[in-house]
Amino acid sequence: MECIVEEMVAQEERRSGRWVSRCFSTDTLGRIYTIHPKNDDCFYLRLLLINVCGSTSFESLRTVDGTICVTFREACQQLQLLEHDSHWNQTLADAIASSPTTAVRTLFAIIISTCQPSNPRLLWDAYKDDMAEDILHRLRLATRNVDLQMNADIYNEALVLIEDLCLLMCEKLLIEVHMPAPSRQTRDLVSRELERERAYDIIHLQQQVQTNVPLLKEQQSSAYNQLINAVDSGNGGIFFLDAPGGTGKTFLLSSILAAICGQGGIALALASTGIAATLLEGGRTAHSVLKLPLNLQIHESPVCNISKQSAMAQVLKKCKLIIWDECTMAHKRSLEALDRTLRDLRNNNRCFGGVMILLSGDFRQTLPVIPKSTAADELNTCLKLSHLWRFVKTISLTMNMRVLLQNDRTAEVFLKELLQIGNGQVPIDPSVD
Ligand SMILES: Nc1ncnc2c1ncn2[C@@H]1O[C@H](COP(=O)(O)OP(=O)(O)OP(=O)(O)O)[C@@H](O)[C@H]1O
């Protein structure tokens, strides 16, 4: 916050066409950047700064009626600066009247993890009986004891279920959303994350392999065999599947994922964008799974924000393959961060700690998007300029499946023109800017 103040004091403003230093007659702070409530501490600090006059220190900002509050949030609460939660109360009461307990828990998890109610604990206290009703009912049946009443264990189980939902939706623990933390072992959390990675319908995956693998065309089949053999050998390595649009890349990647997960192995499907992630079974964005730093431009040697004790660290230690689709849009430092993290987590100094990495995408399409940058900056951040690129083995798919399967002549012409543009073979008209 001090930086913001200094920055504002140093700011200059435009007067009569010239830049001149701003003249201050007082120490008043004119404007403070808005902050999203997700950034808790700064958000509540800002709220205090714009509402409390005459404070001289952070501590005096946190002091309400002579008592020093532990957090800025608590001070805001004492000063009644936060919105009251009557609309969330009403929403939950309506849901309880019309929805099953599981749906009420899901709604509550959404409210506390994404809507920032001012006092989630009060909401929990008001509705915890309704959110734990199915657990009580199940226990009454299991113990054949109709007199069983709500108790701390039942509330704890409901909290664990709500925390699982919050972890799934936004990877937050209940304590991070100002709720009481359920009591459970870290081991329990870790095994849940591993279970999530293994919670596939094995029979369905095996059927998918049996149906799709015989359909693979020659190029796809040779790529499939090469990649599956590389995974089975356990020697790791880094491959790049160079596949222009329509060459059956998603079909091939899905078959590889099904083959590995169908045998009970762990394969992570990541993508640089949310849309690309939805095309792969169990796909998630690389940023969300790997907790990559947001501003890779300013970090020389970034690492993923994953602690050794975390559930994701256990998944990364056990996984056999990491697929990264639309990798051409990824900043080279994000791949380097994954390399450093895997070496550290797996205690193995080989490339990516010995895990096999399969990158896929098409460099003719979108390169990394760097805000406020030049074309040269974007090229500089491209994966091909990473020191890791020299270890990459490239496998190419060139046969367009959309043209081949639909025998569409116009699609073929369109495809050729598209590839020519991508390959820079279309002459540029010098008369056009
Ligand atoms: N061997 C195959 N047998 C039958 N259908 C296939 C085969 N390979 C791909 N296809 C089908 O061809 C179409 C294009 O394949 P796919 O979506 O995998 O290509 P893609 O390279 O991922 O394309 P894009 O990058 O444009 O998304 C899909 O409908 C897919 O089901």
Q: How many domains does the chain have?
A: 3
CB 266 within 8 A of CB 315: yes
| Structural domain containing residue 74 | 2-78
Distance 247 CA to ligand 1 centre (A): 6
User: What are the pLDDT digits (tens) for 171-193?
Assistant: 788 988 889 988 876 555 556 66
Residue in 358, 365, 401, 414 to alter for ligand 1 test, most ligand atoms within 8 A of Cβ: 401
Tell me the pLDDT of the chain averaged across its residues. Answer: 84
Q: Given the CA of residue 253, which atom of ligand 1 is nearest to it?
A: 18
**Domain-located, residue 274:** yes
- 167 part of a folded domain: yes
Cα dihedral angle (382, 383, 386, 388), rounded to 10 degrees?
180
Ligand 1, atom 15: closest residue by C-alpha = 248
- Residue 408's SS3 state is coil
pLDDT at 2 over 60: no
Of 134, 161, 187, which marks where a domain is finished?
187
181 is a domain residue: yes
419 CA distance to ligand 1 centroid (A)? Answer: 17
Residue 404 lies in a domain: no
Query: Is residue 427 a part of any domain in this protein?
Result: no
Domain boundary among 54, 78, 102: 78
Instruction: Tell me the β-bridge partners of 325.
Output: 271
Please say if the pLDDT value at position 1 is more than 50: no
Choosing from 28, 57, 78, the residue where a domain stops is 78
State pTM to two decimals: 0.63
200, 216, 227 from 224: Cα distances, Å: 21, 9, 5
Query: Do 6 and 142 share a domain, yes or no?
Result: no
What's the pLDDT tens digit per position in 135-166? Answer: 999 888 887 888 889 999 899 999 989 998 88
Token readout for 281 is 């079974």
* Residue 52 CB-density burial (10 A; 0-12 exposed, 13-18 middle, 19+ buried): middle
Complete DSSP assignment for 381-394: TSGGGSGGGGGEEE
Pick the atom of ligand 1 nearest to 246's CA.
23
Could you tell me if 299 and 237 lie in one domain?
A: yes
pLDDT tens track for 105-141: 999 999 998 888 888 999 999 999 999 999 999 888 8
Are 307 and 209 within one domain? yes
Distance 253 CA to ligand 1 centre (A): 10
- Whose alpha carbon is nearest atom 7 of ligand 1? 248
Whether residues 16 and 97 fall in one domain: no
What CATH number has the domain bearing residue 217? 3.40.50.300
> Both 74 and 171 in a single domain?
no
- pLDDT the model gives residue 209: 92
413 domain residue, yes or no: no
Residue of minimum CA distance from atom 8 in ligand 1: 248
Residue owning the nearest CA to atom 24 of ligand 1: 245
What pLDDT is attached to residue 221? 94
Residue 415 belongs to a domain: no
- On whether both 363 and 232 belong to a single domain, the answer is yes
**Ligand 1 atom nearest 220 alpha carbon:** 1
Which residues on neighbouring strands pair with residue 239, listed in sequence order? 358, 393
Please give the C-alpha separations between residue 153 and each of 76, 160, 393, in angstroms, as whole numbers.
Answer: 32, 10, 54
Tell me the pairing of strands 18-21 and 12-15: antiparallel
Mutate which of 211, 222, 249, 251 for ligand 1 pocket (most atoms within 8 A of beta carbon): 251
Q: Are 333 and 249 found together in one domain? A: yes
Q: How far is the CA of 252 from the centre of ligand 1 (A)?
A: 8
Q: What residue owns the CA closest to ligand 1's atom 10?
A: 248
For a substitution probing ligand 1, which of 405, 408, 418, 419 has the most ligand atoms within 8 Å of its CB? 405
Evaluate if residue 7 carries a pLDDT over 50.
no
Task: Tell me which residue has its CA closest to atom 26 in ligand 1.
Answer: 245
Q: Are residues 387 and 252 in the same domain?
A: yes
Question: What confidence tier does 17 reach under pLDDT thresholds 50, 70, 90?
Answer: low
Compute, in angstroms, the gap from residue 243 CA to the centroid of ligand 1: 11
Nearest CA to ligand 1 atom 19: 248
Pocket residues for ligand 1 (CB within 6 Å)?
Answer: 215-217, 220, 243, 245-251, 401-402, 405
- pLDDT bucket at 28, cuts 50 / 70 / 90: low
412 part of a folded domain: no
Q: How confident is the model at residue 258 (pLDDT cuts 50, 70, 90)?
A: very high
Global ipTM: 0.95
SS3 state at 358: strand
Same domain, 343 and 367: yes
Q: Outline where DSSP puts E strands in 317-355.
A: 321-325
Mind giving me the DSSP string for 234-297?
Answer: T--EEEEEE--TTSSHHHHHHHHHHHHHTTT--EEEEESSHHHHHTSTT-EEHHHHHT--S-TT
pLDDT of amino acid 426: 79
User: Could you tell me if 145 and 27 lie in one domain?
Assistant: no
- Residues 142 and 20 grouped into a single domain: no
| Cβ neighbours of residue 173 closer than 8 Å, sequence gap 6 or more | 163, 166, 167, 181
The verdict on 363 and 233 lying in the same domain is yes
